[in-house]
């Protein structure tokens, strides 16, 4: 496994720079604001997961 990690270490040596301009041009930028996304994720978790934990 360490051999494989060595082969992909380059992925952690430099920061990734992501430009989603092509995606935005095609699909728009209808992203959910962070505060709403966090609130809805917590509500979903409480409804679907939290009650099932042992």
Domain ranges of the chain: 2-52
pLDDT value at residue 45: 94
| pLDDT tens readout for residues 1-54 | 677 888 888 888 888 888 889 989 999 988 899 999 999 999 999 999 877 765
Report the alpha-carbon distance of residue 38 to residue 18 in Å, rounded.
Answer: 22
Residues 6+ positions from 40 with CB-CB distance below 8 Å = 32
Cα dihedral 31/25/16/39 (nearest 10): 0
pLDDT value at residue 37: 96
Assigned token pair, 50: 């939290």
Radius of gyration of the chain (CA): 19
């Amino acid at each position: 496994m360490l051999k494989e990690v060595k082969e992909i270490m380059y992925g952690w040596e430099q920061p990734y720079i992501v430009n989603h301009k092509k995606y935005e041009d095609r699909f728009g930028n209808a992203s959910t604001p962070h505060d709403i996304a966090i609130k809805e994720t917590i509500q979903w978790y409480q409804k679907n997961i939290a009650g099932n934990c042992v």
